């Protein structure tokens, strides 16, 4: 399924190819908790920017395994980039930034990122 997403102001827009999203991860790490991210993961190759990459700002902290991408204009964090434990490039998509998705219907899996 092809999803379309963006930051609030539209400066960052993208498409992501994924199975229909039914489950997301709700992490309690310091950034996810504060931003309210609801994440699902896809191979990096399944994420395609439709706006220039130079519109994106990046932030890393702690282990620096994930590069949290955000809009420097509106502050919205639509996705993050990193690698899985096997070294594969991955994208963590914030379901809250997708068009036409019913957030209330998503099953939320709690993840204790604060302790990892």
Report pTM.
Answer: 0.93
- 2-115 — its CATH code? 2.170.150.70
Do the Cβ atoms of 15 and 111 come closer than 8 Å?
A: no
Do the Cβ atoms of 7 and 74 come closer than 8 Å?
A: yes
* Domain range list for the chain: 2-115
17/3 Cα distance (integer angstroms): 6
Do the Cβ atoms of 39 and 32 come closer than 8 Å?
A: yes
Mean pLDDT of the chain: 94
Mean pLDDT, residues 53-68 = 88
């Amino acid at each position: 399924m092809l999803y379309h997403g963006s930051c609030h102001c539209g400066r960052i827009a993208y498409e992501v190819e994924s199975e229909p999203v039914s489950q997301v991860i709700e992490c309690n790490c310091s950034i996810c908790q504060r931003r309210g991210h609801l994440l699902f993961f896809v191979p990096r190759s399944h994420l395609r920017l439709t706006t220039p990459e130079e519109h994106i700002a990046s932030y890393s902290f702690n282990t620096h395994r994930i590069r949290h991408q955000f809009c420097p204009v509106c502050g919205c964090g639509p996705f993050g980039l990193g690698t899985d434990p096997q070294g594969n490039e991955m994208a963590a998509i914030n379901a809250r930034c997708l068009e036409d998705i019913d957030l209330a219907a998503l099953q939320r899996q709690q993840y204790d990122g604060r302790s990892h």
